[in-house]
Amino acid sequence: MSSKSVSRYEELDAGRALGDLSPEEVTEWEALAQEGAMDQTIDFDLLATELELNHTEDCALSSSLVTRLEDTIPAFSATIKANQSATGQIISILPWLGWAAAACLVVFFNLPTDDVTQDVSAELAQAKAELSNKEKTITDLESAKQELAKLNKKLKGELASESGKIDDLNTQIAKLTEKLPLLQKFESLIQDESETQRLEFASASDPYNGLSGEVIWNDEKQEGYMSLENLAVNDPTKNQYQLWIVDPERDELPVDGGVFDITQNDGKQIIPIRNALAINKPVAFVITLEQPGGVVKSKQEIVVALAKS
Amino acid sequence: MPPTENLGQSRTLLLPRIAKGDEEAMRKCIDAYGPLVWSIVCRRIDQRTEAEETCQDIFTEIWKFADRFDSKVSKESTFIGMIARRRSIDWQRKQSRLLTLSTLDGLPEKVTSSSFSMGSIDRADLWEALRKLPEDTLELFSLHFEKGMSHDEISKHTDIPVGTVKTKLRRGLIEARKLVREFSDLKGADK
């Protein structure tokens, strides 16, 4: 694994300890861990805990919670002891098997050669074979246990990955559901072909070159929408987009079409036009970037996009 | 944190006894570390029922993973605090519909690290080592770990973009680990 991957893994592992990994980063962290067979340590968890503990003041538990916690003790203690007992039984049989096999061999090689002892010899040989079979069974069980542990780890990884995909899909569905009512209004206005005007947006300056979309407007309904793609997300505390409608029949100056934000850049965004004044025959629509809240009259210092007939 | 454990590992360790199913040690563990666990949980979860359920999950995990505690790697309170912290973060991530990563199931049977050993370092010495971190990192650490601010809150408070806060905290943690390793090596060499 390259030093770049190692350093990336380290950064993601620190993020894991801080609890700030995004779903994509979780997948990346898991892939890097598997790809490079990274040692999974708890260094960052311990450090983060130490940093937090230094400023944590103890808060007493309620007596009811203490009682609930103490109620779980007997069951857990019994489980731990049962597990240890099961492990102990397997461990304790192993040295015994060795001694038993050795004893069989000693007896086998010191047997008298008369007929009576031949039966005993045969029985001992059979016991030795049985012991050997049991040893093999234990070895098989151990390797089956290891296989199961590997399978378990793999399945856990797959489950986490699938769960991440489901979460992503749910997020997408939620976003689409949010957009749906506007999309329906947009489509409905387009259906009204005779009255609805459609103009394509073109980017007006360098940083907005990738922008595409259109604006639709219906004079009779005084209703319109913009459909925009690849318009950069803005920080509403610093600036906001504002639409201007050029309607020469009404005024020489463009009319305010409303302030809006782009909060996510994933696909088509439908933005309703909020014209403060009635519009008659618009010939152009202009998007500018303005101070938060918009302006009454734009200096058009940052013109983002233009759509004109 | 339990007062007797503040410097070094002076208290009798409970986790090795718990790993053997010692019920008395489990009771003492609730008594000694319950307040620490509860304070960590309450920093992140403000709903009492949820906080109590998480607290129960944490003690379940402490019983389950007691055998993974290694006094050379960490102090007992740090190990227990770590489980509490991870479980609480897990709860927060579930609320945000993010993948959870809290349990120790994915970690090795015995959690050790050849190059990292905080078990023998006093807390005062640890902080002495961390003072070498850049001022801005210490400031972010203070906001995050001391005041319990989220990345978003830190971003608003400091006017630093949230992505930068995230990166700086992660890199700060990496740098902190390096400093602790160096300090640990130095201490080893002195002996």
Tens-place pLDDT, residues A120-140: 777 777 777 778 777 777 878
Report the pLDDT value the prediction gives residue B39, as an integer from 0 to 100: 93
Query: Does B88 lie in the same domain as B151?
Result: no
Mutate to test the interface with B, among A13, A47, A158, A166 (most CBs of B within 10 A): A47
Report the pLDDT value the prediction gives residue B25, as an integer from 0 to 100: 94
**Nearest C-alpha in A relative to B144:** A52
- Which residues have CB under 8 Å from A218's CB, separation 6+? A189, A192, A195, A196, A197, A224
* Residues B103, A34 contacting (CB under 8 angstroms): no
* Residues B184, A46 contacting (CB under 8 angstroms): no
Average pLDDT over residues B52-78: 91
Which pair of tokens denotes residue A292? 């938060």
CATH code assigned at B141: 1.10.10.10
Report the pLDDT value the prediction gives residue A257, as an integer from 0 to 100: 93
B106, B136, B160: which is the final residue of a domain?
Answer: B106
Report the pLDDT value the prediction gives residue B24, as an integer from 0 to 100: 94
Phi, psi of A38 (to 5 degrees): -65, 145
Task: Give per-residue pLDDT as tens, A250-273.
Answer: 888 899 999 999 988 778 889 999
**Rounded Cα–Cα distance for residues B97 and A200 (Å):** 38
**Rounded Cα–Cα distance for residues A31 and A272 (Å):** 43
What are A223's strand-pairing partners? A218
Residue A275 located in a structural domain? yes
B106, B131, B154: which is the final residue of a domain?
Answer: B106
Mutate to test the interface with B, among A73, A85, A145, A170 (most CBs of B within 10 A): A73
Report the pLDDT value the prediction gives residue A199, as an integer from 0 to 100: 93
- Which residues have CB under 8 Å from A64's CB, separation 6+? none
Asked if B40 is an interface residue toward chain A (Cβ–Cβ < 8 A), one would say yes
- Which residues have CB under 8 Å from B2's CB, separation 6+? B11, B32, B33, B36, B77
Looking at residue A112, the DSSP 8-state letter turns out to be -
- CB atoms B34 and A66 under 8 Å: yes
Least confident of A43-47, A98-102, B159-163, B168-172: A98-102
**Rounded Cα–Cα distance for residues B43 and A215 (Å):** 49
Report the pLDDT value the prediction gives residue B100, as an integer from 0 to 100: 58
Q: State chain B's maximal CA–CA distance in angstroms.
A: 51
Task: Give per-residue pLDDT as tens, B118-133.
Answer: 766 777 777 788 889 9
Q: Work out how many domains chain B is built from and give that number.
A: 2
- CB atoms A72 and B59 under 8 Å: yes
**Rounded Cα–Cα distance for residues A242 and A233 (Å):** 14
Residue A71 located in a structural domain? yes
A128, A155, A182: which is the final residue of a domain?
Answer: A155
B106, B135, B168: which is the final residue of a domain?
Answer: B106
Look up the domain containing A300 and give its range: 196-308
Report the pLDDT value the prediction gives residue A31, as an integer from 0 to 100: 84
Mutate to test the interface with A, among B26, B29, B162 (most CBs of A within 10 A): B26
Q: In angstroms, what CA-CA distances link B148 with A78, A177, B44, B151?
A: 38, 34, 8, 10
First and final C-alpha spacing in chain B:
28
- CB atoms A58 and B1 under 8 Å: yes
Report the pLDDT value the prediction gives residue A96, as an integer from 0 to 100: 47
User: Which of the residues in chain A have pLDDT under 50?
Assistant: 90-94, 96, 99-113
β-strands A223-229, A269-272: how paired? antiparallel
Instruction: Answer whether 0.90 is exceeded by the pTM.
Output: no
Report the pLDDT value the prediction gives residue A260, as an integer from 0 to 100: 94
First and final C-alpha spacing in chain A:
57
Residues 41-100 on B with a CB inside 8 Å of A are 42-43, 52, 55-56, 59-60, 63-64, 73-74, 77-79, 81-82, 85-86, 89-90, 92-93, 97-99
β-strands A196-200, A223-229: how paired? unpaired
Which pair of tokens denotes residue B149? 């601010």
CATH code assigned at B94: 1.10.1740.10
Lay out the sheet containing A202-203: strands in order across: A202-203, A303-308, A284-290, A240-246, A255-260
Which pair of tokens denotes residue A104? 């069989």
**How many Cβ pairs closer than 8 A exist between chain A and B?**
183
In terms of Cα–Cα distance, which of A287, A282, A229, A285 is closest to A260?
A287
* Residues B65, B104 contacting (CB under 8 angstroms): yes
DSSP reduced 3-state for B43? helix
CB atoms within 10 A of CB A30: 19
> CB-CB: which of B18, B113, B173 is closest to A48?
B173
In the predicted model, is pLDDT for residue B103 greater than 50? no
Q: How far is residue B185 CA from its own chain's centroid? A: 22
E strands, B55-135, are none
If phi > 0 it is left, if psi is from -120 to 50 it is alpha, else beta; for residue A37 that is left
Looking at residue A6, the DSSP 8-state letter turns out to be H
Look up the domain containing B77 and give its range: 3-106
Mutate to test the interface with A, among B6, B14, B23 (most CBs of A within 10 A): B23
Q: Which residue has the tokens 């015995």?
A: B110
In terms of Cα–Cα distance, which of A225, A185, A188, A233 is closest to A208?
A233
What dihedral do alpha carbons B43, B62, B77, A13 form, nearest 10°? Answer: -70
Query: Does B101 lie in the same domain as B8?
Result: yes
- CB atoms A52 and B93 under 8 Å: no
Query: Does B25 lie in the same domain as B52?
Result: yes
Q: Quote the minimal CA–CA distance from B187 to chain A in Å.
A: 18
Q: Quote the minimal CA–CA distance from B190 to chain A in Å.
A: 23
Residue B7 located in a structural domain? yes
Residue A213 located in a structural domain? yes
Report the pLDDT value the prediction gives residue B4, as an integer from 0 to 100: 40
Asked if B26 is an interface residue toward chain A (Cβ–Cβ < 8 A), one would say yes
* Residues A122, A104 contacting (CB under 8 angstroms): no
Report the pLDDT value the prediction gives residue A1, as an integer from 0 to 100: 66
Phi, psi of A114 (to 5 degrees): -75, 170
Q: Quote the minimal CA–CA distance from B169 to chain A in Å.
A: 8
Report the pLDDT value the prediction gives residue A88, as an integer from 0 to 100: 55
Query: Does B128 lie in the same domain as B86?
Result: no
In the predicted model, is pLDDT for residue B11 greater than 80? no
**Nearest C-alpha in B relative to A19:** B89
Residues of B in contact with A23 (CB under 8 A): 98-99
DSSP reduced 3-state for A183? helix
**Rounded Cα–Cα distance for residues A215 and A255 (Å):** 15
DSSP reduced 3-state for A207? helix
In the predicted model, is pLDDT for residue B54 greater than 60? yes
Residues 133-162 on B with a CB inside 8 Å of A are 141, 144-146, 151
